[in-house]
């Protein structure tokens, strides 16, 4: 809704909005904007060049001489402020030369052969060559067992939209693989003639896609974004003859890149390094599945149909473990019973005796739940490893009463967590609950959007975006008293992250000028915070700046971190609307462990996680 007209606003006919110089020169013919005010009177806003924040001006004066920053000055800035300790004089000169090739800087005489001015310095700080994350590529130890890694995991990877009625396609699978997702889930069912295999969400209105098409697309796109292994988790609803057909399809499609274990049960999982460019199959030992449930919409479900205010614009705020009500544990894992995927018993050997042997031989990561409650589920067998699947609700119950057992189980075995069945809108849950207990496969609906998915995207920007992140040592070890990490225990602060939000730019070029408000430029504010263990989780907010396409907040925040290894920096920008919900202006999520110190340009992304062409924030990160 448009903002109400006021006399003060009416008087601001010649308000100057500050935009970075390069953007201004690109759009020299768009230096004014006209809005209608009070539904009739035109209101014009003129656009002017941006002014560097005061901190940037001060730093420039400290690292320059006579208004010019030469290569040796810039190198000192890179080492002392940006903490790029390996920066050389040649690196600094390359930056200056790169700025010198920009036509807009030469045109405005703010570049000199011997150095740069403060305007060019600001241009460099806002550039893509000054990103917030370390450009280290894959730098974690990749030779440990698979159970030692968080793995980028998809849920119902074949769906194009909601869980109830969308089409099934290989398109979402391709998109996920191109973004670095390493675990693809396929629900496999007999076709109507019972002579072939289809992929679909069973007992729903989703339209199927042939399994062979999905397998061929996985082979073609598996290793474009990462050369580390792709795991295919199969939810199998097939008869033995069709299982044999799947085995034939997989063997012929993947050939030598299909990894097959040497024995039926592994004593320890192989490493990502040893499985480079390999496809791995994970499912239960073959059996007849119980009839899958029908997806029913529950009116009482808090995640569905109650999005109000800002939630509808960019997704519900992420629920933390401390917000979860204490669950009644008397039924352990039996409460969901047969109402959740993969929540089925594998103990009856009669259901397996006619299984296709060639299908069984393909399974590297064996899945299944033992009979009994939580205690049985989390038992560790020193002679073999396995995969256990829990719904998000089952995980929430388990962490309240068996948190340490979960951590101990995931030191050798793989835990997969999946969304509850009532998330028919393809929304997601808080992944930190699983990660902080060692869960490797936190399965997400990648076709959705929202704050939880932003955390997933942010987490897997680490380690070169390869889809595998080495778990922190404290999740992999026991202390001398045989104790393991407990996320609920508040630890001492390890380090404090200081974040300064200077300014933002780029909305003027990526959005129509009336996108946020029909009557004036937008009123932006930023939210900055941490997603992590409960003790570290917090969100803070800047002031709202009225009528400014290039907000200059210049606000500093401090975040004490007890477990920085699991911390993600959350950044959101919104446009304030006094009469209804605020508008979405962009978001970013960054792993704290890989943040670069210094002043950095942080690109913002859409709700769907796509990077905007121009929108960025200028921020400073300091660890104290």
Instruction: Evaluate whether 146 touches 269 at the Cβ level (below 8 Å).
Output: yes
Active site annotation includes 155: yes
Reference 20, options 126, 130, 116; nearest CA is 126
Active site annotation includes 201: yes
Structure tokens at 39: 């539904």
Euclidean distance between CA atoms 2 and 222, whole angstroms:
47
Structure tokens at 255: 């050939």
What is the end-to-end Cα distance of the chain in Å, rounded?
43
Instruction: Evaluate whether 571 touches 604 at the Cβ level (below 8 Å).
Output: yes
Euclidean distance between CA atoms 362 and 283, whole angstroms:
10
DSSP letters for 179-195: TT--EEEEEEEE-TTSS
Instruction: Evaluate whether 52 touches 118 at the Cβ level (below 8 Å).
Output: yes
> What is the maximum alpha-carbon separation in the chain?
86
Euclidean distance between CA atoms 501 and 257, whole angstroms:
47
Instruction: Evaluate whether 254 touches 215 at the Cβ level (below 8 Å).
Output: yes
Instruction: Evaluate whether 227 touches 277 at the Cβ level (below 8 Å).
Output: yes
CA distances (Å), origin 324, targets 126, 473, 486? 40, 27, 17
Reference 394, options 348, 459, 327, 441; nearest CA is 327
Residue carrying structure tokens 């933002």: 504
**What 3-state DSSP class applies to 90?**
helix
Q: Is 340 exposed, middle or buried (0-12, 13-18, 19+ CB in 10 A)?
A: buried
CB atoms closer than 10 angstroms to residue 479:
9
Catalytic pick among 73, 140, 148, 201: 201
Instruction: Evaluate whether 41 touches 26 at the Cβ level (below 8 Å).
Output: no
| Strand partners for 428 | none
Catalytic pick among 155, 366, 457, 513: 155
Euclidean distance between CA atoms 124 and 59, whole angstroms:
14
- Residues designated catalytic: 155, 201
């Amino acid at each position: 809704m448009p903002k109400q007209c006021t006399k003060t606003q009416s008087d601001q006919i010649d308000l100057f909005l500050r935009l970075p110089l390069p953007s201004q020169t690109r759009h020299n013919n768009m230096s004014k904007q006209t809005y209608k005010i009070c539904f009739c009177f035109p209101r014009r806003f003129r656009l002017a060049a941006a002014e560097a924040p005061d901190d940037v001006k001060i730093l420039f004066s400290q690292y320059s001489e006579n208004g010019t920053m030469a290569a040796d000055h810039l190198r000192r800035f890179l080492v002392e402020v940006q903490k790029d300790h390996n920066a050389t004089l040649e690196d600094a000169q390359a930056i200056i030369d790169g700025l010198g090739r920009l036509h807009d800087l030469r045109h405005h005489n703010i570049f000199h052969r011997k150095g740069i001015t403060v305007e060019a310095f600001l241009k460099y700080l806002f550039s893509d060559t000054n990103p917030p994350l370390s450009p280290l590529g894959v730098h974690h130890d990749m030779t440990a067992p698979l159970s030692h890694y968080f793995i980028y995991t998809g849920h119902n990877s074949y769906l194009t939209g909601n869980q109830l009625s969308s089409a099934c396609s290989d398109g979402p699978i391709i998109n996920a693989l191109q973004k670095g997702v390493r675990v693809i889930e396929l629900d496999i069912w007999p076709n109507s003639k019972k002579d072939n295999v289809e992929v679909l969400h069973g007992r729903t209105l989703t339209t199927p896609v042939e399994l062979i098409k999905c397998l061929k697309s996985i082979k073609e796109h598996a290793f474009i974004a990462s050369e580390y292994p792709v795991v295919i988790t199969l939810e199998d609803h097939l008869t033995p003859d069709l299982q044999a057909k799947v085995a034939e399809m997989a063997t012929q499609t993947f050939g030598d890149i299909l990894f097959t274990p040497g024995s039926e049960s592994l004593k320890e999982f192989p490493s990502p390094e040893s499985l480079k460019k390999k496809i791995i199959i994970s499912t239960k030992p073959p059996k007849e599945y119980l009839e899958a449930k029908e997806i029913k919409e529950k009116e009482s479900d808090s995640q569905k149909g109650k999005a109000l205010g800002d939630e509808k614009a960019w997704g519900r705020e992420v629920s933390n473990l401390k917000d979860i009500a204490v669950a009644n544990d008397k039924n352990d894992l039996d409460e969901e019973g047969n109402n959740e995927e993969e929540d089925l018993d594998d103990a009856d050997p009669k259901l397996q005796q006619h299984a296709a042997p060639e299908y069984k031989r393909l399974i590297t990561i064996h899945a299944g739940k033992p009979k009994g409650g939580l205690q049985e589920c989390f038992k560790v067998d020193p002679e073999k490893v396995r995969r256990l699947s829990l719904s998000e609700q089952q995980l929430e119950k388990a962490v309240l009463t068996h948190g340490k057992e979960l951590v101990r189980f995931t030191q050798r075995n793989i835990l997969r967590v999946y969304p509850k069945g009532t998330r028919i809108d393809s929304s997601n849950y808080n992944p930190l609950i699983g990660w902080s207990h060692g869960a490797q496969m936190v399965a997400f609906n990648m076709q959705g959007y929202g704050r939880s998915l932003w955390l997933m995207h942010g987490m897997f920007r680490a380690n070169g975006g390869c889809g595998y992140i080495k778990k922190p040592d404290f999740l992999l070890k026991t202390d001398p008293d045989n104790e393991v990490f407990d996320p609920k225990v508040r630890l001492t602060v390890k380090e404090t992250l200081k974040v300064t939000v200077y300014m933002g730019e780029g909305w003027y070029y990526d959005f129509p000028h009336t996108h946020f408000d029909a009557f004036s430029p937008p009123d932006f504010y930023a939210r900055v915070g941490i997603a992590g263990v409960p003790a570290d989780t917090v969100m803070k907010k800047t002031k709202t700046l009225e009528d400014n396409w290039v907000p200059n907040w210049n606000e500093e925040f401090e975040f004490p971190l007890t477990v920085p290894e699991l911390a993600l920096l959350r950044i959101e920008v919104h446009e304030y609307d006094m009469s209804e919900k605020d508008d979405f202006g962009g978001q970013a999520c960054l792993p704290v462990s890989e943040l670069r110190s210094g002043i950095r340009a942080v690109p913002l992304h859409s709700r769907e996680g796509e990077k905007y062409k121009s929108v960025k924030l200028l921020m400073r990160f300091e660890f104290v």
